[in-house]
Structure 1
Amino acid sequence: MERIFAAYLIETPYDVEQAAAVLAGEQSSGTFISTTQELEEFRKLYAARVEHIELQEEVSVPSIPGNYKEGTVFKRAKVIVSWPVGNFGYNIPTLITTLLGNIYESTQFSGLKLDDFEVPNSYREHFRGPKFGLRGTKALAGVELKQPMIGTAIKPSLGLTPEHTAQLVQKLADAGIDFIKDDELLTSSASSTFEERVEKVMDVINAQADKTGKKIMYAFNITGDFRTMQSNYETVVNAGGTSVMVSINSVGWTATKQVCNWGGLSVHAHRNGWGMFNKHPFFGINFPAYDKISRLAGVDQMYVNGIENTFGESNDSALRSIKSCLKPFLNSESVLPVVSSGQWGGQAFETYNRLQTTDLLYMAGDAILGHPSGLEAGVLAIQQAWNGAINGKTLEETANDYEEFRALVYKFANRELLNSESVS
């Protein structure tokens, strides 16, 4: 029988082998103690197996506080556990229950993090993956593969009327933006009902497309209960939109998959609340596992943090997330990584140097909306930064070449850099 393999980072005050056995038992047969009903044949067919244990360091302070005796040593390890597919079939909620179930509450673990998992090839027959993904989303937005998509979110998050939002969209469209989105806090508010916002914004985008031949992608936030999402989705389709946004941690994976199954729009997955699952270094879930769940659901665009982000995630971790989106999974289309959190263009250089790809959506908020010379200069400055990075130029050289990007360097970068002889 085919099996699913999952890698965990564990920390335990117990013997590592015993703790790993508890993990496998709790998440398959439901117990790590043999019962009279648990025949050996039954265990062979349905029990999880501990496939590999890689011992790591020992620590004297637990990652998660607990009732531990003074002097307790906590052992860390990377553990690989497998389950037969027959335990849960091709059911995302049951898969998640298995991978992220009661083990997090177990006394055996002072730290536990799902790092990654692999599914067998048979999953290809049951999960389509992203309908549009990276390539299809770029095509919908009229962006060449050799260029990054440049995007921003409407700010302020709340309070703008549909007319004001449409006016801002017009300015961004004239500036040459590729992508715009609702804020995750905005669905349908007293100042901006969903239907009216879609109508006003799409009037601008459709008119701009008729004039220029390029249709800007706007991700409308349809997050809500199931009926609300379905109604909002249909509103966007009928208005000629190309994308919707869903707060995936708020609606859950079953609802997210249903939105993706409708298949008419590129689904922009916002992971707000992600820090609850990931920010602790030894508790929760790492992005590669989270990303694979999202790809089974079928999302096309996935939020990640970027280089030197404002959320405090390390550069290595952020880059691992971007690479995870681009990595082949079940031969499905790659997810478009949405690089965000304090991106102003200065990070484009290290991002490109370390990834050597433009397969991303680069979100810049304050750098575009707050550029000293206006929105058009803001969009142009981000484009200049990426052109410089792609052509092998340094930040300093690019700032020397382009007035608009130089203004961002003055606003965001270290002032000492601007006083150097390399930037005139």
Structure 2
Amino acid sequence: MMRCLLDVDWSTLVERSQVLGEARRRAEKQTGEPKIYLANVTDEVDRLIEQHDIAVSNGANALLINALPVGLSAVRMLARHTKVPLIGHFPFIAAFSRMEKYGIHSKVMTKLQRLAGLDSIIMPGFGSRMMTPEEEVQENIAECLQDFGHIRRSLPVPGGSDSALTLETVYRKVGSVDFGFVPGRGVFGHPMGPKAGAASIRQAWSAIKEGISLERYAAGHPELQAMIDGAQGKK
């Protein structure tokens, strides 16, 4: 059933990974910077290794898997096989964690995903869209970063409707640079297009590093300014 999401006739993993793998290599050559192509290989359990091998051979240098639908044992199998970073996404987490009397706290699921071998764990983040209390988000971040015997840390990625305008808030709440950022809407929903959306994220981070407000830094950066103008126009 899950294969219909990964391997549709009009966009097979083979074709998609070839195009995007080449795009990654081209971007690295043009910019002189390393890039990551994160390929989603979520599929039926008996096809995970095959899909992994296809994506990696075509240029994916990190992999995404919807960990809870495929199962933690499947994640463990893939983690033992792969040589590239393995990132987990959080579909189904609400079904486990939102039942008041019978559910499992999301931090338990985060810990189990870390134990299964995920290098990075995307989780419901800050803000109203994810409907997750800030305290719970912080607990999940802590489960990724705290000492846990010989188990390596997992990079926490709290996400949900993020953009250049929320980057500093996430950074301050995490309290360090040990986090990932997934600004889907902030990139693809940018009024000047995805390229400008990506540029606005980098500009916001530069402002944070330099200790300058976004409004002041945006004066010479139209991509960031467009995000600020768009937010002000919605008020």
TM-score by length of 1: 0.50
- Report what 1:361 is aligned to: 180
CA shift digits 1:97-117 (9 cap, x unpaired): xxxxxxxxxxxxxxxxxxxxx
CA contact (8 A) 1:309 1:343 kept: no
Question: In structure 2, what is the Cα distance between the partners aligned to 1:298 and 1:200?
Answer: 28
- Whether 1:269 aligns to 2:88 is yes
**Within 5 A, what are the aligned runs for 1:11-410?**
186-399=5-218, 402-410=221-229
Question: How many residues were matched structurally?
Answer: 233
Range with greater deviation from structure 2 (240-249 or 390-399): 390-399
Question: In structure 1, what is the Cα distance between the partners aligned to 2:224 and 2:161?
Answer: 16
Could you say if the C-alpha distance between residues 265 and 191 of structure 1 is closer, same or farther in structure 2, counting changes exceeding 3 Å? same
Question: In structure 1, what is the Cα distance between the partners aligned to 2:203 and 2:67?
Answer: 33
CA contact (8 A) 1:220 1:243 kept: yes
How far residue 232 of structure 1 moved from its aligned partner, in angstroms, is 0.7
Range with greater deviation from structure 2 (241-250 or 251-260): 241-250
**SS of 1:302's equivalent?**
strand
Question: In structure 2, what is the Cα distance between the partners aligned to 1:190 and 1:299?
Answer: 29
CA contact (8 A) 1:302 1:335 kept: yes
Question: In structure 1, what is the Cα distance between the partners aligned to 2:216 and 2:70?
Answer: 45
Question: In structure 2, what is the Cα distance between the partners aligned to 1:397 and 1:313?
Answer: 32
Query: Is the radius of gyration larger for structure 1 or structure 2?
Result: 1
Gaps of 5+ in 1: 1-183, 417-424
Task: Pick 1 or 2: higher relative contact order, CA cutoff 8 A, min separation 6.
Answer: 1
Could you say if the C-alpha distance between residues 323 and 281 of structure 1 is closer, same or farther in structure 2, counting changes exceeding 3 Å? same
How far residue 259 of structure 1 moved from its aligned partner, in angstroms, is 0.3
**SS of 1:361's equivalent?**
coil
Question: In structure 1, what is the Cα distance between the partners aligned to 2:34 and 2:129?
Answer: 31
CA contact (8 A) 2:162 2:186 kept: yes
> Which protein has the bigger helix share?
2
CA contact (8 A) 1:306 1:343 kept: no
How far residue 276 of structure 1 moved from its aligned partner, in angstroms, is 0.8
CA shift digits 1:80-132 (9 cap, x unpaired): xxxxxxxxxxxxxxxxxxxxxxxxxxxxxxxxxxxxxxxxxxxxxxxxxxxxx
Question: In structure 2, what is the Cα distance between the partners aligned to 1:314 and 1:395?
Answer: 26
Gaps of 5+ in 2: none
CA contact (8 A) 1:247 1:270 kept: yes
How far residue 350 of structure 1 moved from its aligned partner, in angstroms, is 2.2
Question: In structure 2, what is the Cα distance between the partners aligned to 1:283 and 1:319?
Answer: 22
CA contact (8 A) 1:352 1:389 kept: no
> Which protein has the bigger strand share?
1
Could you say if the C-alpha distance between residues 247 and 381 of structure 1 is closer, same or farther in structure 2, counting changes exceeding 3 Å? same
Amino acid paired to 2:125: G
Question: In structure 1, what is the Cα distance between the partners aligned to 2:7 and 2:40?
Answer: 9
Question: In structure 2, what is the Cα distance between the partners aligned to 1:399 and 1:209?
Answer: 26
CA contact (8 A) 1:186 1:221 kept: no
**SS of 2:54's equivalent?**
helix
TM-score by length of 2: 0.87
**SS of 1:223's equivalent?**
coil
How far residue 414 of structure 1 moved from its aligned partner, in angstroms, is 7.3
How far residue 309 of structure 1 moved from its aligned partner, in angstroms, is 4.6
CA contact (8 A) 2:141 2:156 kept: yes
